[in-house]
Amino acid sequence: MGRTKEKNIADPSRVEVGITDSTVTGQSRMTSSHEYPEYAAKPDMKSHNSSPTIENVDRKRPLTFFFLLPNGSNAFMADLTREAESYAQTLERDGISIHVEPIDAYDGHRVAGTLAILDAKNCNGVAVVAPLFPEVRAAIDRLQDRGVHVVTLVSDHPASARKHFVGIDNRAAGRTAARLMGQFLNGRSGEIALLAGSLGLRDHADRYAGFREVITADYPSLSLLKVREGRDDNTRSRNLTKEILKEHDGVIGLYNMGAGNRGAILALEEVEKAHAVSFIAHELTPYTREAITSGTINALISQDPGHEVRSAVRVLQALCEDRPIVSGQERIGIDVFLKDNLPPET
């Protein structure tokens, strides 16, 4: 898929990509691509452009959506990005253009700066994995004020003016993980180690709240250690897991509510506790599939990235065309995978 060039984007949905000077001055502002021609086509922007076809001549105008998705080593976010890029090709014939823009979900200032670039002149809707920073909430609100529909994806920012959240009920996912943990440990007493990318991400915070709620209420023999934040990084997760196991010899369970599972898996194997600690994690990836098959992971709480991408597009399209959102169709289910019910590899 080719990179965006200004000459490829026809009016009225022309996209002029600018940059923010926030990384230099600490102040976010719109910077014209004409001021910095070398940034007119951002090299890391994956772009998929299209124009209306005879099949959708009744559409009022072509639509342009931006997906702001975290980069880095997070395998689930990589799957989400691939799904968005793949679905973009399908949508070309319908006059819908999708741009996938990588963001650092742990840098609220830069996420806000990316949102500040966009307005109704260059896009109709945005789907963003939104960290819980006040500057991100303000940027979402301002983008809505500029006439661009915003939906949050995977991780919500409910205090913002976003129009819809596309993702699972993360509090319910955390409760489910706790129920499984309690049943796996079957009355044993001990400590549960907790890993998160960051409790500044709403999905991780909600999972933690749900997990703590059930363990505290129904499994008094289990005590929760403080949450260690690995920023979804495998090396950090590995080091944190090894530190926890060294400091606490009573750990009998591990719940990772974020990514970085490869690091946690490796740590358990290196200290020879892969089968001594009940491990519950999130998202079915090649690495977690292998770990659940080998018995290092006992259960996975998962969500369908393809469904989430398609749902985000449908919701944005409905908002742009002033149509109702079909709530049943857009409800994202929570999948629970054990060794015995893994779906076929694709």
Residue with tokens 């060294």: 246
Whole-Å CA distances, 276 to 116, 199, 234, 268: 49, 27, 21, 9
**CA nearest neighbour of 308 among 285, 289, 288, 334:** 334
d(CA 18, CA 20): 7
Q: What integer pLDDT is reported at residue 209 of this predicted model? A: 99
Q: What integer pLDDT is reported at residue 187 of this predicted model? A: 95
**CA nearest neighbour of 230 among 248, 246, 247, 242:** 242
Q: At what angle do helices 170-185 and 202-218 cross, to 10 degrees?
A: 40
Tens of pLDDT, residue by residue over 182-209, are 999 999 999 999 999 999 999 999 999 9
pLDDT less than 70: residues of the chain = 1-60
Q: What integer pLDDT is reported at residue 72 of this predicted model? A: 85
Give me the residues paired with residue 96 across strands.
Answer: 63
pTM exceeding 0.85: no
Question: For the chain, where do the domains classified as CATH 3.40.50.2300 start and end?
Answer: 6-164+305-326, 170-302
With a pLDDT cut of 70, the percent of the chain lying above it is 83
Neighbour-count burial of 125, counting CB atoms closer than 10 A to its CB (0-12 exposed, 13-18 middle, 19+ buried): buried
d(CA 233, CA 197): 8
Matching CATH number, 170-302, of 3.90.1150.10, 1.10.240.10, 3.30.460.10, 3.40.50.2300:
3.40.50.2300
- For the beta carbon of residue 158, count every other beta carbon within 10 angstroms: 11
Q: What integer pLDDT is reported at residue 252 of this predicted model? A: 99
Tens of pLDDT, residue by residue over 137-186, are 999 999 999 999 999 999 999 999 999 999 999 999 999 999 999 999 99
Q: What integer pLDDT is reported at residue 152 of this predicted model? A: 99
The domain made up of 6-164+305-326 has a fold known as Rossmann fold (3.40.50)
